[in-house]
Copies of this chain bind each other. A is one copy, B any other.
Amino acid sequence: MQSRLRHLLLGSPLPTQQLVHERLNKVRALAAFSPDALSSIAYANQEIYLGLVIAGSAGLSLALPVGLAITGLLILVALSYFQTIHGYPSGGGSYIVARENLGTLPGLVAAAALLTDYILTAAVSLTAGVAAIASAFPALWPHRVVVSLALLVVITLLNLRGLRETGTLMAIPVYLFLFTYLPMLAYGAVRFLMGGPGSLTAASFPPTEPLTAFLVLHAFSAGCTALTGIEAISNGVPAFQPPEAKNAGQTLMVMALLMGLLFLGSVGLTQGLAVVVGPQETILSALARRLLGSGPAYLLIQTSTMLILAVAANTSFAGFPRLAALLAADGFLPRQLTGLGDRLVFANGILLLAAATGGLIVVFSGDSHALIPLFAVGVFMAFTLSQTGMIVHWRREGGRGWWLKAAFNGLGALATGTTLLVVGVSKFGQGAWITILLIPTLVMGFLQVRAHYRDVAQQLSLRGLPPSLKPFPVPRVVIPISGVHRGIVDAIAYARSISKDVTAVYVELEPGAGERIREKWEHWWPDVPLMILPSPYRSVVGPLLDFLDEIDSQHSDGQLATVVLPEFIPARWWENLLHNQTAWLIKAALLYRRRHLGFQRTIIDVPHHLER
Q: Is the C-beta of A28 less than 8 angstroms from some C-beta in chain B?
A: no
**Which residues of chain B are within 8 angstroms of A14 by Cβ–Cβ distance?**
537
With both chains docked as a complex, state the minimum distance between the C-beta of A460 and any C-beta of chain B, in angstroms: 4
CB proximity to B under 8 Å, residues A525-581? 525, 536-539, 567, 569-571, 573, 575, 577-581
B471 and A486 contacting across the interface, CB-CB below 8 Å? no
> Which of A43-51, A168-176, A490-498 binds B?
A490-498
Q: Is the C-beta of A65 less than 8 angstroms from some C-beta in chain B?
A: no
Kindly state the separation between the CA atoms of A525 and B536 in the bound complex, as whole angstroms: 49
Please judge, given known A-B contacts A460-B486, A487-B460, A539-B342, whether A604 and B604 are in contact too, CB under 8 Å: yes
Q: Is the C-beta of A145 less than 8 angstroms from some C-beta in chain B?
A: yes
Residue-wise interface mask of A (16-29) relative to B, using a CB-CB cutoff of 8 A (1 in contact, 0 not): 11000000000000
Number of chain copies forming the complex: 2
B602 and A604 contacting across the interface, CB-CB below 8 Å? yes
Out of B471, B473, B609, name the residue touching A600 (CB < 8 Å).
B609
**Which residues of chain B are within 8 angstroms of A525 by Cβ–Cβ distance?**
469
With both chains docked as a complex, state the minimum distance between the C-beta of A370 and any C-beta of chain B, in angstroms: 9
**Which residues of chain B are within 8 angstroms of A580 by Cβ–Cβ distance?**
335-336, 339
**Which residues of chain B are within 8 angstroms of A497 by Cβ–Cβ distance?**
471-475
With both chains docked as a complex, state the minimum distance between the C-beta of A185 and any C-beta of chain B, in angstroms: 33
With both chains docked as a complex, state the minimum distance between the C-beta of A566 and any C-beta of chain B, in angstroms: 11
B496 and A471 contacting across the interface, CB-CB below 8 Å? yes
Out of B453, B524, B575, name the residue touching A462 (CB < 8 Å).
B524
Please judge, given known A-B contacts A469-B493, A472-B494, whether A15 and B536 are in contact too, CB under 8 Å: yes
**Which residues of chain B are within 8 angstroms of A605 by Cβ–Cβ distance?**
587, 591, 602-605
Out of B334, B336, B537, name the residue touching A342 (CB < 8 Å).
B537
Q: Is the C-beta of A606 less than 8 angstroms from some C-beta in chain B?
A: yes
Out of B335, B465, B608, name the residue touching A578 (CB < 8 Å).
B335
Residue of B nearest to A340 (CB): B538
Out of B15, B453, B462, B612, name the residue touching A484 (CB < 8 Å).
B462
B471 and A493 contacting across the interface, CB-CB below 8 Å? yes
Kindly state the separation between the CA atoms of A486 and B484 in the bound complex, as whole angstroms: 40
**Which residues of chain B are within 8 angstroms of A611 by Cβ–Cβ distance?**
459
Kindly state the separation between the CA atoms of A145 and B363 in the bound complex, as whole angstroms: 9
B334 and A578 contacting across the interface, CB-CB below 8 Å? yes
Kindly state the separation between the CA atoms of A605 and B600 in the bound complex, as whole angstroms: 10
**Which residues of chain B are within 8 angstroms of A516 by Cβ–Cβ distance?**
none
Q: Is the C-beta of A449 less than 8 angstroms from some C-beta in chain B?
A: yes
A486 and B462 contacting across the interface, CB-CB below 8 Å? yes
B578 and A607 contacting across the interface, CB-CB below 8 Å? no
- Other than A16-B538, A339-B538, give 12 A-B pairs with Cβ distance below 8 A: A13-B537, A14-B537, A16-B537, A335-B579, A336-B580, A452-B578, A459-B486, A460-B485, A465-B489, A472-B494, A474-B497, A494-B602
Would you give 12 A-B contacts (Cβ < 8 Å), ordered by A?
A: A15-B537, A334-B578, A340-B538, A342-B538, A452-B570, A452-B578, A469-B493, A471-B497, A475-B494, A573-B592, A587-B605, A600-B606
